[in-house]
Amino acid sequence: MSDEAKRMAAGAAVELVLDGMRLGIGTGSTAEHFIHLLAQRVKAGLSVTGIATSERSAELCSRLGIPLTNLDETPSLDLAVDGADEFDGALNLIKGGGGALLREKIVAAAAKRFVVIADASKQVAVLGAFPLPVEIIPMARQPLSQRLAKLGAVVALRQTADGKPFRSDENHWILDCAFGPAITDPPRLAHTLSGMPGVVEHGLFCGMTERVLLGSDDQVTVINS
Ligand code: 5RP
């Protein structure tokens, strides 16, 4: 899928930003387009305060001059904008491909409006072709892997290029759970995962998304919840 489609979606999201807004700022390649386009508006005089969903996005925002705050100072946000790995017809999402799902969910939940920016490769009939990231406490790896396998997932510990366990910004591990395109009831699976001791958070975002801005090379389609 082209980078232009992601940029188009990001551009439509930047148009939703109004002067004075408190903004949640996502993570990933589509969110990085949003950050670059937002920075152009900030340079032109727009006043916003952002909360980034990852160290990576925070670093980019700082470099481009977007003022940042935190949830202690600003516990409630006007709008959060983020990418997704998959979304279905009910706007349930899989997120966390970039490993930022925990902070992404916290920030999205703190926002009055949560808008997803995506290209067509992310739109699916049934979630699950993209392995579902589950953020865990390291000591729970084996029991959780067994429980997740019993639910039908092929489970893999996410690793860095040099073979070490990937660490999230909050210093947890991530199990990537390949269910196949078979997550027919995302809220139910989300509930089950949330009840497993050792699971810090999972990448199913259910009932949170107000709209998806779906970019293509020449247009943006708005899909409302
Ligand atoms: C990071 C995420 C990203 O939003 C998701 O992986 C989409 O990334 P991209 O825009 O690069 O396709 O959830 O944790």
Q: What average pLDDT does the segment 5-21 reach? A: 98
Q: Closest ligand 1 atom, CA of 82?
A: 4
Class of the CATH domain delimited by 3-121+206-224: alpha beta
Active site (catalytic) residues: 104
Which of the four pLDDT bands, split at 50, 70 and 90, describes residue 31?
A: very high
Compute the distance from residue 100 Cα to the ligand 1 centre, in Å: 8
If you average pLDDT over every residue of the chain, what do you get? 97
Could you give the CA distance from residue 118 to residue 212 in angstroms, rounded to a whole number? 7
Q: Quick one: which atom of ligand 1 is closest to the CA of 100?
A: 14
* Rg of the chain, C-alpha, whole Å: 17
Q: Please report, for the chain, the start and end positions of each structural domain, with discontinuous segments joined by +.
A: 3-121+206-224, 132-199
Q: What is the pLDDT of residues 42-81, one digit of tens each?
A: 999 999 999 999 999 999 999 999 999 999 999 999 999 9
Nearest CA residue ID for atom 4, ligand 1? 83
CA–centroid distance, residue 94 to ligand 1 (Å): 9
Please state, for a pLDDT cut of 90, what percent of the chain lies above it.
99
Distance 99 CA to ligand 1 centre (A): 8
Give yes or no for residue 83 CB within 6 A of ligand 1.
Answer: yes
Can you give the pLDDT at residue 2? Answer: 76
Question: Considering the entire predicted model, what is its pTM?
Answer: 0.97
Per-residue pLDDT tens for 104-141?
999 999 999 999 999 999 999 999 999 999 999 999 99
Q: Is there a shared CATH topology between the 3-121+206-224 domain and the 132-199 domain?
A: no
Give the count of beta carbons closer than 10 Å to the beta carbon of residue 223: 15
Which CATH architecture does the domain made up of 132-199 adopt? 2-Layer Sandwich (3.30)
